[in-house]
Structure 1
Amino acid sequence: MAQLHGRRYIRAFVSGFFVAVPVTVTFLDRVACIARVEGVSMQPSLNPGGRTSSDVVLLNRWSIRNYEVQRGDVVSLISPKNAEQKIIKRVIALQGDIVKTMGHKNRYVKVPSGHVWVEGDHHGHSFDSNAFGPVSLGLLHAHATHILWPPHRWQTLRPLLPRERTPRHSDED
């Protein structure tokens, strides 16, 4: 009798496993995941402790599926220079905006259709659009929405655009 219960337990475990794994993988691929932020490029918004601590953020993949981002959003994207690497930056300008660059080869750049301009918050310590130019919306991976770790840093990441980084719209004179 004990052997029969053992087999039922194993069968239930195996069938549950084969349901849970695809559901979990699909959730992480399509809806949300978490990521540890490394480096100083997003200080002071992320990793204010420098190299001594790393923030862990919630990445909302669902909200980015239609490429709906706004200026000031913190996003995860595939690095335009290394497809194996994901980077986290702030959206500064949207398609059609004219952005005053910081160290880019052109002083002003009009963001082309289907692209955004992204920068790290720690200027001069960030590999961002000032180095590689506007980023295709297709490289966007997720929208960072919350800091989850460490506990004393729990918070929602709200869109924030420093006044000095506000782009001009191309229809303005």
Structure 2
Amino acid sequence: MNWRRVFKRVGVLISAGCTVRVFSSYIASIVVCDGVSMNPAIMDGDIVIVEKISTLLYKHERGSIIVANSLHSNDPHSLICKRIVATPHDLIPFERENRKTRWKDRKYVPKGHVWLEGDNKSESIDSRKYGSLPIGLIQGRVVFRVWPLSRIGCVASNMKAKHRER
């Protein structure tokens, strides 16, 4: 057995592993989307590429579909996929309800937060339920769908999100 060859191969594997780790932490990663809250833009089971550079540069725009750590889950590694509908200092009108009444309310998105909503409003647990999301929880912006092959392509940030008053 040639130990020099073994150490060289181990070194190559360690280098490759470090490169993949840095790439997936700071450049882009692959995420499997689960749930129907973003239908029809992102369907249950879609596999997407999430770029992370814009998040590191704090470039968050209305209409972007993002992946973030969940606020409403007991699992700290749970991710959500939602659309940014408002950025800091935007005014958000929304409906609230309890067991007896439903009323309209509005509030400003605080500095350092964004307001997220799913495109499929009736099936989405989002900022209407848990409030604005701290920007630090955003993992990245969805840019490309790789699966299913019938829908492969760029995921456009459409401005379905209405412009909010400042």
What residue in structure 1 maps to residue 107 of structure 2?
A: 109
Contact (CA 8 Å) 1:99, 1:167: kept in 2 or not? no
Shift of 1:102: 4.3
Question: Aligned partners of 1:155, 1:102: CA distance in 2, in Å?
Answer: 35
What residue in structure 2 maps to residue 56 of structure 1?
A: 47
Shift of 1:8: 4.2
Shift of 1:128: 0.4
Contact (CA 8 Å) 1:100, 1:167: kept in 2 or not? no
Structure 1 runs not aligned, ≥5 long: none
Question: Aligned partners of 1:108, 1:99: CA distance in 2, in Å?
Answer: 5
Shift of 1:159: 1.2
Shift of 1:126: 0.5
Structure 2 runs not aligned, ≥5 long: 98-102
What residue in structure 2 maps to residue 75 of structure 1?
A: 66
Question: Aligned partners of 1:107, 1:86: CA distance in 2, in Å?
Answer: 28
Shift of 1:77: 0.6
1:31 aligns with 2:27: yes
User: Which of 93, 97, 104 is matched with 1:100 structurally?
Assistant: 93
Q: Summarize deviations over 1:43-82 as a string: whole Å, max 9, x none.
A: 01111xx5xxx11000111221122111000000111123
Q: What is the aligned length?
A: 159
Shift of 1:122: 0.3
Shift of 1:168: 2.5
Shift of 1:106: 5.8
Q: Summarize deviations over 1:76-110 as a string: whole Å, max 9, x none.
A: 01111233311010000111111222447862121
User: Which of 141, 156, 160 is matched with 1:158 structurally?
Assistant: 156
User: Which of 123, 126, 129 is matched with 2:124 structurally?
Assistant: 126
- Cα separation, partners in 2 of 1:146 and 1:16, compared to 1, 3 Å: same
Helix, strand or coil at the partner of 1:34:
strand
What is the root-mean-square deviation of aligned Cα atoms in Å? 1.7
Question: Aligned partners of 1:14, 1:8: CA distance in 2, in Å?
Answer: 10
What residue in structure 1 maps to residue 100 of structure 2?
A: none
Contact (CA 8 Å) 1:119, 1:130: kept in 2 or not? yes
* Structure with larger Rg: 1
Give the share of equivalent positions with the same residue, in percent: 26
Contact (CA 8 Å) 1:75, 1:141: kept in 2 or not? yes
Shift of 1:161: 2.5
